[in-house]
Amino acid sequence: MTDLITAAQMRGIELAAITSGVVTGLELMERAGRGVVAAIFEEWPEFAQSGGRAVVLCGPGNNGGDGFVIARLLREWGWEVEVCLWGDPARLPPDAKANYERWCTFGAVHPLGEPVFEAAELVVDALFGTGLTRKLEGLEKTALALKGKSAAGFPKVVAVDVPSGLSADSGRYVGETDVDACISADLTVSFHRAKTGHYLADGPAACGRLVIEDIGLDAFCVPEEAVCLAGPNVERLQKRGDAHKFSHGHAFVLCGGVGHGGAARLAARGALRIGAGLVTLGCPPAAILENACQLNAVMLARVADGAGLTEILEDSRINALCVGPGLGSRAETRGLVRAVLLARRASVVDADGLSAFATAPADLFEVLHEACVLTPHAGEFARLFPDIAEHLSAGCTKVDAVREAAARAGSVVLLKGADTVIATPEGRACINAAAYECAAPWLATAGAGDVLAGFITGLLARGFAPYEAAQTAAWLHVDCARTFGAGLISEDLPEVLPSVLRRLHG
């Protein structure tokens, strides 16, 4: 599983390495610069064949120091290099200063005004990295001039560590920085481990492609509380040959009223395809006929209200519940959610099941438990956790926000998006990133979230722990969308799952 770290964790690892005496800051800077140049030549092999013209933009910290190393190395490869500096050379930190002075023996350093990108094939953004702490001002002209040129294909823009302006932690533009005042890269080269900001929010769009270079810090551990990229538990997804349907659990999905059953039917189909042994849809009596016309392998049960549900749940073989998709803002919705949660089975609370508590989130938190998974989209999240949503708008990372929400809810929380974040009340967290080579833009389609709720419910029925169910389901969901490709609608997601599973089980 790929670990992601924050800027502070990276600084901690760097400090541990330097204080241990195995490496100096200057050596790390040299390795970082070498890594960037290697990644550039790997990305554009033609650049290694013949030197061109490069502009290297250096900032006032160690990101700028990496830039001076890169300028020197490109020059060694025969490139004509123009170097611009933002700030006062006298105030550069020691390692950056050493590399600045070394560069000065080869060429000039211009103040960062409006560098001329006209004839450049390559621009290196070494302005700000993990040390950007406040709103970036004064880069507008440079950033806009660069965007105008690179939109036409040249120059290629390479960001060192992170595109300048972006927070390495949150993936958002720092402070109130305008997106036009920031650098957008074709390639971002970071070091040791990807940072959370490379995968969250605006990170993937700003980074272009992402490459992580090894700078020899593997002996210095990633902290225990590190976030990881979500992945499926492939082994657990297999079905044992000697099992029968009840060994794979019985999932129960609550359904809306007449004409509102589509969402729950999608969830039920998802739960069945992901391998729950049995799936039952519970709907109001008036909707039985409608649902019976549409379902075969999914069974049907009448559920008039919370009391009716409690009676059905006397069957202890029903071991996973899904409540919310298509339930509507009926007065009974809260009662149904409470009945589900008071049964103390593994449960997914989604969509209207969450929104029903917008005016009284504490009533929901009171009955939630550790076997639950909440699956809000951003709007539903803001209704349940308005203060945390405000922190998020103010620049808090999505990981921290979801961790805080999970701790408050006492349940696993999965906050949807291209950068889905899943966290446990204890603070474990992962990002299921539909980004870079895993982008899944066709998932932005009505009903996709209902299928995800069904996938999670199905895995809960199969005995997956809530965090593991959420993580595996979210990963499979994106992989289904990518496998199907363009033209995807949510009905396709459960149908493409068999081919995804076949591929996983090779």
Ligand X SMILES: NC(=O)C1=CN([C@@H]2O[C@H](COP(=O)(O)OP(=O)(O)OC[C@H]3O[C@@H](n4cnc5c(N)ncnc54)[C@H](OP(=O)(O)O)[C@@H]3O)[C@@H](O)[C@H]2O)[C@@H](O)CC1
- 116's contact among ligand ADP, K ion, ligand X, none, with CB below 5 to 8 A by partner kind, is none
* End-to-end Cα spacing for the chain: 19
Output 128 or 381, the one with its CB closest to ligand X. 128
Residue 192 lies near ligand ADP (rule: CB under 6 A): no
Question: Which of positions 127-166 make contact with K ion (CB under 5 A)?
Answer: 159-160, 164
Cβ–Cβ under 8 Å, residues 493 and 481: yes
Question: Which of positions 100-159 make contact with ligand ADP (CB under 6 A)?
Answer: none
Candidates 14, 30, 95, 125; binder of K ion (CB under 5 A) is 125
- Burial of 108: CB neighbours in 10 Å, binned 0-12, 13-18, 19+: exposed
Residue 485 lies near ligand ADP (rule: CB under 6 A): no
DSSP alpha helix (H) spans, 247-305: 262-273, 288-292
- H/E element holding 353? helix 351-355
Residue 63 lies near ligand X (rule: CB under 6 A): yes
Question: Cα–Cα distances in Å, from 2 out to 169, 400, 402, 484?
Answer: 16, 18, 19, 25
Question: Which of positions 152-171 make contact with ligand X (CB under 6 A)?
Answer: 160-161
If DSSP states are collapsed to H, E and C, what string results for 289-303?
Answer: HHHHCCCCCCEEEEC
- The three-state secondary structure class of 166 is strand
Residue 56 lies near K ion (rule: CB under 5 A): no
**What's the alpha-carbon Rg for the chain, to the nearest Å?**
26
Q: Is 243 annotated as a binding residue?
A: no
CB 306 to ligand ADP: min, Å:
23
Residue 136 lies near ligand X (rule: CB under 6 A): yes
Residue 324 lies near ligand X (rule: CB under 6 A): no
Residue 55 lies near K ion (rule: CB under 5 A): no
Question: Which of positions 65-104 make contact with ligand X (CB under 6 A)?
Answer: 65-66, 93
Q: Strand pairing partners for 111?
A: 85
C-alpha 262/C-alpha 324 separation (Å) is 12
Q: Strand pairing partners for 123?
A: 55, 157
Cβ–Cβ under 8 Å, residues 478 and 440: yes
Question: Which of positions 425-444 make contact with ligand ADP (CB under 6 A)?
Answer: 434, 440-441, 443-444
C-alpha 214/C-alpha 209 separation (Å) is 17
Q: Which stretch binds ligand ADP (CB under 6 A): 83-91, 100-108, 330-338, 417-425?
A: 417-425
CB 502 to ligand X: min, Å:
42
Output 192 or 248, the one with its CB closest to ligand X. 192
- Contact mark string toward ligand ADP, 11..50, x via CB under 6 A: ----------------------------------------
Cβ–Cβ under 8 Å, residues 26 and 65: no
Cis, bond preceding 155 (omega within 30 deg of 0): yes
Binding site for ligand X (CB under 6 A): 10-11, 14, 28-29, 32, 59-66, 93, 128-136, 160-161, 191
Binding site for ligand ADP (CB under 6 A): 351, 377, 416-418, 420, 434, 440-441, 443-444, 446-450, 452, 477
